[in-house]
Chain A
């Protein structure tokens, strides 16, 4: 079944808070992990499938966050409307930026997106009147969905879980479609893709906008959930972490990106006990994964399991005399 993985994941997400209610790792870390999953799955569409890097993705995350923060605190817009506005802003900026920026390749694209991320970050710090500057914006009202106010950790867990499953579902559908195949074709052999009638510039633009929308969506949820935003949450470091999540989990795999996002979030939490050595161990672990599982955690491990399985199957087959082992 095409969606078998999705249902397994969904069941796990639903069971966790039921089996472990009020567990810190579920209701607190789980929320952070869920937001990271949304961000990583969106970035993976751009990076993993279309093969275009973005080192400025935190900027779109921030646009969603600040749009919700500013519009709900200063103008008292309802949360859902502010969220839509954030999506509109991030989507429009991504669309305007896509054509000029996605003509660039490799290192040049990395530089350009990095520059974009820095500019947006500087705006968050400097446009003090709007953004509150380095101190950020607080007192963001809780999200209100059709009269239901989301304000406890448990409630947030469910909201983020639904959002995350929605994004994963959309991503899975997209990848396995005419559009997704076009994206993968662009990454694999751009000239051949063009010759098959794919408008590669348009395809890249579309996926850039989609990943920006996912990021802005996560940003709005984040702003309401934290009730506070500051430039620190949308810095270059965050952009780099998002790229790390995608690569860590395994590029060009929706569950790979999700897995990378969850793994990195848990790693941060798990390593807190090492205090000063946290980043050191963190870095070493990432290096080890890339050396030993270059395809990423999820992709590498599932391939390993698959290979092990076929190995066992072939051994079993070899015992029977009439089934010569086929290499």
Chain B
């Protein structure tokens, strides 16, 4: 039996998020064990991205608890949550378009550096040393994401598929313990999606726990260790891919069939 309780990195309990009476999340509970690829699926509007935004501190939940590695996330601003070791990518690209790919990824290293305003303005020797270190770290993340040859280009000038990779590289540069990927395959063609699958596997191999929101079922089923199925802001099912694929409630929700289930 899994020892999910003892090794859970992220624990979400009875999480509720309402927007003016609309329940986007109606009591969601789950645990993400450490070093797993944990996928969250569900139809559009099921509350997947809302869940990410609550996790990241962009929304403050109406009720419930969020614990990451023993820290309560509720009430923390996003930059404090990031400092605990959570990084994410965005469904709709949030790149720094007017900066180069390398600079984007160097921003990802923000928390691993210390340079303050005054030392930066004076460009003290230790600032130069730190800049070199940041470049090396950023280069590592770019290498892992296959973007080394794009380092000097403006992020806004890249093709869409590569922009999505820059977001992943930027998030990785923060050396997160938990990486949230919000629909990384959206808008990618089949070749790019397969490459993305390899990339996620490589990232996973470095020991990062991955929380993946994705609609591309072949990708999800081939890479996720466990899945959480959301529907109308509630948990419909949770378990390993084989169980989920055989779950009649999930099939009903996805195929829109006439199978009824208790609410």
A residues engaging B (CB < 8 A)?
170-171, 173-174, 177-182, 184-185, 187-189, 191-200, 206, 210, 252
What 6 pairs across the A-B complex have the smallest Cβ distances?
A177-B120, A192-B94, A197-B111, A194-B78, A197-B82, A188-B96
Q: Which of B83, B110, B170 contacts A182 (CB 8 A)?
A: B110
Q: Which of B56, B79, B120, B122 contacts A180 (CB 8 A)?
A: B120
How far apart are the CA atoms of A185 and B155 in the complex, in Å?
12
Contacting A at CB under 8 A, from B81-118, are: 82-83, 87-88, 90, 94-99, 103, 106-108, 110-111, 113, 115-117
Q: A184 near B117 (CB under 8 angstroms)? A: no
Q: A185 near B131 (CB under 8 angstroms)? A: no
How far apart are the CA atoms of A196 and B95 in the complex, in Å?
11
Q: B122 near A173 (CB under 8 angstroms)? A: yes
User: Which chain A residues border B134 with CB–CB below 8 Å?
Assistant: 178
Q: A198 near B122 (CB under 8 angstroms)? A: no
Q: A179 near B115 (CB under 8 angstroms)? A: yes
Q: A196 near B115 (CB under 8 angstroms)? A: no
Q: B98 near A177 (CB under 8 angstroms)? A: no
How far apart are the CA atoms of A173 and B121 in the complex, in Å?
5
Q: A177-B120, A178-B134, A191-B94 are in contact. Are A196 and B107 (CB under 8 A)?
A: yes
Q: Which of B56, B117, B120, B131 contacts A195 (CB 8 A)?
A: B56
Q: B174 near A196 (CB under 8 angstroms)? A: yes
Mind listing 19 A-B residue pairs with CB under 8 Å?
A: A170-B121, A170-B122, A177-B120, A177-B121, A177-B123, A177-B131, A178-B106, A178-B134, A179-B115, A180-B120, A182-B107, A185-B99, A188-B97, A189-B97, A192-B90, A194-B79, A197-B79, A197-B111, A198-B79
Judge if B207 is at the interface, Cβ distance under 8 Å: no
Q: A179 near B120 (CB under 8 angstroms)? A: yes
Q: Closest residue to A175 on the B side, CB-wise?
A: B120
Q: B98 near A184 (CB under 8 angstroms)? A: yes
User: Which chain A residues border B120 with CB–CB below 8 Å?
Assistant: 173-174, 177-180
How far apart are the CA atoms of A204 and B256 in the complex, in Å?
48
Most buried by B among A188, A197, A210: A197
Q: A178-B120, A182-B107, A197-B174 are in contact. Are A192 and B58 (CB under 8 A)?
A: no
Number of B residues whose C-beta is below 8 Å from A? 37
Looking at chain A's contact residues, is the secondary structure mostly helix, strand, loop, or mixed? helix
Q: B123 near A173 (CB under 8 angstroms)? A: yes
Q: A173-B120, A196-B170 are in contact. Are A178 and B90 (CB under 8 A)?
A: no
Q: Which of B82, B95, B106 contacts A194 (CB 8 A)?
A: B82
Judge if B75 is at the interface, Cβ distance under 8 Å: no
Q: A252 near B131 (CB under 8 angstroms)? A: no
Q: Closest residue to B108 on the A side, CB-wise?
A: A196
How far apart are the CA atoms of A63 and B93 in the complex, in Å?
42
How far apart are the CA atoms of A195 and B58 in the complex, in Å?
9
Q: B82 near A195 (CB under 8 angstroms)? A: yes
Smallest beta-carbon distance B158→chain A, Å: 15
User: Which chain A residues border B127 with CB–CB below 8 Å?
Assistant: 177
Judge if B77 is at the interface, Cβ distance under 8 Å: yes
User: Which chain B residues border A178 with CB–CB below 8 Å?
Assistant: 106, 110, 113, 115, 120, 130-131, 134
How far apart are the CA atoms of A210 and B120 in the complex, in Å?
12
How far apart are the CA atoms of A191 and B110 in the complex, in Å?
14
Q: Which of B94, B106, B110, B131 contacts A198 (CB 8 A)?
A: B110
Q: Which of B97, B106, B122 contacts A181 (CB 8 A)?
A: B106
Smallest beta-carbon distance A207→chain B, Å: 9
Per-position 1/0 for B179-202, Cβ under 8 A of A: 000000000000000000000000
User: Which chain B residues border A194 with CB–CB below 8 Å?
Assistant: 57-58, 77-79, 82
Q: B108 near A191 (CB under 8 angstroms)? A: no
Q: Closest residue to B124 on the A side, CB-wise?
A: A173
Contacting A at CB under 8 A, from B151-171, are: 170
Taking A193-B96, A196-B111, A197-B82 as known contacts, 20 extra A-B pairs with beta carbons closer than 8 A to each other, sorted by chain A number, are: A173-B120, A173-B123, A177-B127, A177-B131, A178-B120, A180-B120, A185-B96, A187-B98, A188-B99, A189-B95, A189-B96, A192-B170, A193-B107, A195-B78, A196-B82, A196-B87, A196-B110, A196-B174, A199-B79, A200-B79
Smallest beta-carbon distance A296→chain B, Å: 14
User: Which chain A residues border B95 with CB–CB below 8 Å?
Assistant: 188-189, 192
Q: Closest residue to B56 on the A side, CB-wise?
A: A195
How far apart are the CA atoms of A189 and B97 in the complex, in Å?
8
How far apart are the CA atoms of A199 and B99 in the complex, in Å?
19
